[in-house]
Amino acid sequence: MSYKLVVGLGNPGSEYAETRHNMGFMLLEKFLNGHRPERWEKVHICNSYCYVGSFAGTKLILQLPQTFMNNSGTAVAKLMRQEKIEPSEVIVAYDDMDLEPGRLRIRRNGASGGHHGIDSIIAELGGNGNFTRLRLGIGHGRETIDHVLSKFSESEKATVDATLATGCKALEMLLRCGVAKAMNEYNSWSYQTPDEVTDKAKETEKDQ
């Protein structure tokens, strides 16, 4: 079954832009900008900004709920009912503290892992967690709320950019090839600095 809806989770408002909790928003915005944004129709429906277009010959909706993170499920479930979309036809992209920065993970379904946005979606779907997740690592901070609502530092920019770029490739593979192939390709990915790449190349040369 093909995917019909991709949801990016985050908080609305300029004060939350570029914060760790908005990685889902950031991913969808980058994905859209890389796929001829002028061909997507922007609409404000179901308490969300939605971009309606097509990908790989299939109609696709990109949804950015404007309900704040903890109530994301209200907007997502409303849109799913309106468009007659099943949970198995949905991908949700969001930040994950259980993954280190520079990592991402694709998962078929399951529990929320403590993420309040995912909690809200599952609750609004009557306990149905049968949707695909694209989790983007942000790591842990001393205080959870302060950490997720903080902006990335300049030193983290390269890691964030690489994670979003790879996340877009993972999303493309999910849409084109399905969850099994995308998991196999990207669940082991981790960002490496230029120095780490150089050191690894040197180690490989020594082993040969």
Higher pLDDT, 126 or 145: 126
115 is catalytic: no
pLDDT tens digit string along 57-76? Answer: 999 999 999 999 999 999 99
pLDDT tier, 134 (very low <50, low <70, confident <90, very high otherwise): very high
Per DSSP bridges, beta strands 5-8 and 58-65 are: parallel
Residue 143 has what pLDDT? Answer: 72
Q: What percent of the chain has pLDDT over 70?
A: 92
pLDDT at 198 > cutoff 60: no
- Torsions phi, psi for 18 (to 5 deg): 65, 15
Q: In what order do the strands lie in the sheet with 5-8?
A: 41-45, 48-55, 58-65, 5-8, 90-96, 132-137, 104-107
- Torsions phi, psi for 17 (to 5 deg): -60, 140
Dihedral sign from CA coordinates of 1, 94, 125, 62: negative
pLDDT tier, 203 (very low <50, low <70, confident <90, very high otherwise): low
pLDDT at 197 > cutoff 90: no
Residue 145 has what pLDDT? Answer: 80
pLDDT tier, 200 (very low <50, low <70, confident <90, very high otherwise): low
Q: Tokens standing for 73? A: 């499920």
pLDDT at 141 > cutoff 90: no
Contacts of 104 (CB under 8 A, 6+ apart): 134, 135, 136, 137, 163, 166, 167, 170, 186, 187, 189
Distance of CA 61 to the CA centre of its chain: 14
DSSP 47: T
Rounded average pLDDT over 104-113: 94
Q: Which of 21, 116, 140, 147 is catalytic?
A: 21
Rounded average pLDDT over 160-181: 97
pLDDT tier, 55 (very low <50, low <70, confident <90, very high otherwise): very high
